[in-house]
Chain A
Amino acid sequence: MSEPLVKVESVSVTLGGTSVLSEVSLDLAPGRITTLIGPNGAGKSTLARLVLGLVTPDQGTVVRRRGLRVGYMPQHLNIDDSLPLTVDRFLWLGASGPTAARRAALERAGVAHLRRRAVQKLSGGEMQRVLLARALLRKPDLLVLDEPAQGVDVAGQNALYGLLKDVRDELGCAILLISHDLHLVMAATDEVICLQRHVCCSGSPETVSRDPAYHELFGPTAGTPNLALYTHDHDHDHDLDGNAHHHHHDHEGPCNHD
């Protein structure tokens, strides 16, 4: 495996007196797709923000390769109405270059018709696609997407994941995806990391798919080749206040550790 773009090593983050992440490690290498899954409040967004350099760890280290070009697609973005800004200008802020490049990026994200629209007039889904176009336009080494499949139907997710796979193949970039869905992840994912303040388990979807329960659930996704089902049972204990017991695992596969 080539040199990681970002190396997160036994990082702990405490926000407002609450431990959000503890002893988390993560490597993002070129050409690899990593999906973070976990329940709400599991620290997925914090881990992504750590990778992006928006959060500094209380313990541990985050090493980013010098000159790393990052494309980031946040969940949503609110832009003040007082700022007159078209989609085209918004993209220009992310990466200067010819209009044709911006048009092509929008085309790719399936929103070419929105180029002259004011950003404030976009729906949530349209804004997400515009953000994706802006991220792609930067030709990133690392692409971070926060819940890209949120509010998108299964066919839409399939199309989106197909696009991301093409982008990865084309640019050879690393992709970090956050998914709130514990069951549906991108089939092309090289690694699935399940987070519950610590890394409970991680592994390739293939490893995961050997789980008999996975086959049981496979039916409904037939015909959507970019989606994989992943079953996950939280059969280890977490305290009521959410503090997980500190059992750290480097094994691959579903979260069965009894």
Chain B
Amino acid sequence: MPTTITTTMKAPATMIELLLPPLLAGLAVALVSGPMGAFVVWRRMAFFGDTLAHGALLGAALGLALDISLYVGVVAMCLGLAAALTALQHQRQLASDTLLGIVAHTTLALGVIAISLQTGIQVDLFAYLFGDLLAVGWQEVVGLWAGALVILAMMVWQWRALLSITVNEELAQVEGVAVQRTRLLLMLLLALLIAGAIRTVGVLLITSLLVIPAASARRLTHTPAQMAIVASVLGTLSVLAGLTVSWFANTPVGPSIVVAASGLFMLTLLRKTS
């Protein structure tokens, strides 16, 4: 690394100053995305997560408009959407993917409009859609790590319950697991993660950071815990690779991370499954 820095004519101090906060922020998100992404894959929640992420833009816009934290706006919006979608799924006429398609794109459109209406401060729409990791400051890094550790701690604490309702909700309920409460917890943690990840990869790419490392990990593992941990490792590698590529090739960071994750997924396809 030191040699490359001199060749690109950038002072080491500047590089560390510039790259360390985004790197740490990206790692925090990748770390939690492993186990959370595993649940998204197991419970077939990819489109659901995507819908929450799209809605997150509207939440962020409302958060900014009301002059409260955009994170508060995002979490509130995700939770509201999760509750509304759960209620809507009780009707039988439309399949849930149709419903999710309607909600995802309506909230995204509303979010874009709401962002464009912000007059006071200059808001970069692109940064919300695809992430702006390089603009992350130390304060946010601390917040992201605090959030990441809380989510991880909750998941470890409730691991068996979360896994039980994923295997079979009825069996879990009979065996004394509080199914509704556990499902709600998973939803809340997912909303928190999306709020955190909005700055890293943006609302359009969050689901990929959840799904791709977990999907790659599936072929390499034999137990749920292994899959969650390997997904974290692969997500971390993707962030490292994406940031590196972005630094040297001057590509947008969020998309670079996603492409790196996809590259790792392609590599796992080469492995024969047992």
Segment at the A interface, from B141-149, B166-174, B257-265: B166-174
Bound together, the chains give a CA A74 to CA B173 distance in angstroms of 13
B-side contacts of A52, CB under 8 Å: 170, 173-174
B-side contacts of A138, CB under 8 Å: 175
Bound together, the chains give a CA A207 to CA B226 distance in angstroms of 56
- Indicate whether A84 sits within 8 Å of B218 (C-beta atoms), given known contacts A79-B168, A90-B167: yes
B175 and A80 form a contact (CB under 8 A): no
CB distance from A76 to the nearest CB of B (A): 11
A72 and B171 form a contact (CB under 8 A): yes
B-side contacts of A60, CB under 8 Å: none
Whether, in the assembled complex, A222 has its beta carbon less than 8 Å from a beta carbon of chain B, the answer is no
CB distance from B245 to the nearest CB of A (A): 29
Q: How many chain B residues touch the partner (CB < 8 A)? A: 23
Whether, in the assembled complex, B31 has its beta carbon less than 8 Å from a beta carbon of chain A, the answer is no
Whether, in the assembled complex, A115 has its beta carbon less than 8 Å from a beta carbon of chain B, the answer is no
Contact with B along A49-75 (1 / 0, CB 8 A): 000111000000000000001101010
List which B98-148 residues lie within 8 A (CB) of chain A.
none
Looking at the complex, which one of B166, B170, B224 makes contact with A54 (CB distance below 8 Å)? Answer: B170
Whether, in the assembled complex, B78 has its beta carbon less than 8 Å from a beta carbon of chain A, the answer is no
Whether, in the assembled complex, B96 has its beta carbon less than 8 Å from a beta carbon of chain A, the answer is no
List which B188-235 residues lie within 8 A (CB) of chain A.
215, 218, 221-224, 226-227
Contact size class for A?
20 to 34
Whether, in the assembled complex, B47 has its beta carbon less than 8 Å from a beta carbon of chain A, the answer is no
A-side contacts of B164, CB under 8 Å: 93
B167 and A72 form a contact (CB under 8 A): no
A74 and B171 form a contact (CB under 8 A): yes
B-side contacts of A82, CB under 8 Å: 41-42, 44, 215, 218
| Further 19 A-B residue pairs, CB within 8 A, beyond A84-B221, A144-B174 | A52-B173, A69-B176, A72-B171, A72-B175, A74-B168, A74-B170, A82-B215, A83-B224, A83-B227, A85-B223, A86-B222, A86-B223, A89-B223, A89-B224, A93-B160, A93-B163, A93-B167, A94-B175, A118-B222
B binding-site residues for A, Cβ under 8 Å:
41-42, 44, 160, 163-164, 166-168, 170-171, 173-176, 215, 218, 221-224, 226-227
| Interchain Cβ contacts under 8 Å between A and B, 8 examples | A74-B171, A82-B218, A83-B227, A84-B227, A85-B224, A86-B222, A93-B167, A94-B171
